[in-house]
């Protein structure tokens, strides 16, 4: 595909099957108790559908051109591990651009990452796996972690170009006119991958007077697969909500807890989703504008001015150009 190295990615799409892959999934489950075969399967299905087809790759790369003086660089990647292959898009962008990659896998997602690295290396890609990245050996770095990790990365990689990512969260704005199908789709936004990702909707904005008990009852039919750790988190969230002063509703497998509309972004517990009541569309638009810098995406009735909008049911299925934190990874790589 022109100057881009897309063939290894197209070939990779066919590799997630067979005994070697099945063993990898088994090991991944041992490394991270949240990575069930169903969750891993959902992540791989999304990659195949949203990213690894020739049409999706062409669409992504159509807006870029390699500089005439482009040179191959060595790029370090520090992977997160909260979701299956959550760092794949960064690695893929390095591969497609034609750079060499040095990857530090997360201990929570080592097996899946190493499987992908192995298959890409078999297709001729220059990729190494390392326990630590050495800044003096790199021409640039992409690193993802929490806010504390981001501060550490900023110090460690201060001498080279760096794309650093910290904590983000996602929200949804509802109008009360959503169809049953849209509400069902919202369940994916909220509960796919147990709500652990930065694209998981963990706060809802609803019209004043919204019947939260009825909403909780509808959502109770969308329970994810049974998981002992998640069940434990749900019991804890329910107990904390019952002891608190906030309004709350029990969704059967998760808790809805109200926070004031003027409260800024708050990280909820696992198995907990926050909600705030608004009086006007301007009120929600103002909240989104004030806190845009810590939001990964916003779904539903979101103003067109918000830069990372998504339809209900789509937050967990990003495409190539749904860059984390809104920072264009390919532009960063082409500018090294």
Distances (CA, A) of 177 to 135, 220, 260, 300, 306: 52, 19, 22, 11, 21
What digits encode the pLDDT tens for the residues 172-205?
999 999 998 999 999 999 999 999 999 999 999 9
Instruction: Mention the CATH class of domain 7-167.
Output: alpha beta
Give this prediction's pTM: 0.93
Band the pLDDT of 146: cuts 50, 70, 90: confident
Q: Which of 211, 219, 217 is nearest to 312 (CA)?
A: 219
CATH of domain 169-310: 3.40.309.10
Tens digit of each residue's pLDDT (9 = 90 or more) over 200-230: 999 999 999 999 999 999 999 998 899 999 9
Average pLDDT of span 224-241: 94
Domain ranges of the chain: 7-167, 169-310
pLDDT digits (tens, 9 = 90+) for 20-69: 999 999 999 999 999 999 999 999 999 999 999 999 999 999 999 999 89
Provide the pairing of β-strand 140-144 with 162-165: parallel
């Amino acid at each position: 595909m022109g100057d881009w190295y897309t063939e290894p990615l197209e070939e990779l799409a066919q590799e997630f099957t067979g005994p070697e892959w099945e063993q990898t999934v088994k090991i991944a489950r041992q490394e991270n108790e949240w990575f069930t075969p169903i969750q891993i399967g959902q992540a791989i299905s999304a990659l195949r559908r949203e990213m690894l087809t020739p049409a999706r790759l062409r669409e992504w790369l159509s807006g870029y051109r390699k500089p005439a003086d482009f040179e191959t660089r060595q790029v370090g990647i520090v992977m997160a591990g909260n979701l299956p292959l959550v760092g794949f898009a960064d690695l893929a962008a390095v591969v497609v651009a034609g750079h060499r990659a040095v990857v530090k896998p997360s201990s929570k997602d080592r097996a899946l990452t190493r499987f992908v690295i192995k298959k890409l290396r078999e297709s001729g890609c220059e990729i190494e796996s390392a326990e630590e990245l050495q800044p003096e050996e790199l021409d640039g770095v992409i690193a993802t972690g929490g806010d504390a990790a981001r501060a550490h990365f900023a110090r460690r990689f201060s001498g080279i170009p760096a794309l650093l990512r910290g904590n983000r969260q996602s929200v949804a704005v509802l109008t009360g006119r959503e169809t049953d199908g849209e509400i069902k789709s919202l369940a994916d936004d909220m509960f796919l991958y147990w709500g652990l990702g930065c694209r998981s909707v963990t706060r809802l904005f609803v019209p004043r007077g919204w019947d939260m008990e009825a909403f909780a009852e509808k959502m109770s039919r969308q329970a994810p697969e049974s998981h002992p750790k998640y069940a434990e988190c749900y019991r804890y969230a329910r107990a904390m909500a019952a002891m608190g002063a906030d309004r709350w509703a029990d969704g059967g497998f998760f808790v809805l807890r109200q926070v004031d509309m003027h409260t800024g972004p708050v990280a909820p517990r696992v198995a907990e989703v926050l909600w705030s009541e608004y009086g006007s569309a301007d009120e929600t638009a103002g909240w989104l504008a004030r806190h845009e810098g810590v939001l990964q995406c916003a779904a539903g009735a979101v103003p067109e001015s918000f830069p990372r909008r998504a339809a209900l049911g789509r937050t967990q299925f990003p495409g190539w150009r749904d860059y984390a934190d809104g920072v264009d990874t390919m532009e960063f790589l082409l500018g090294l």
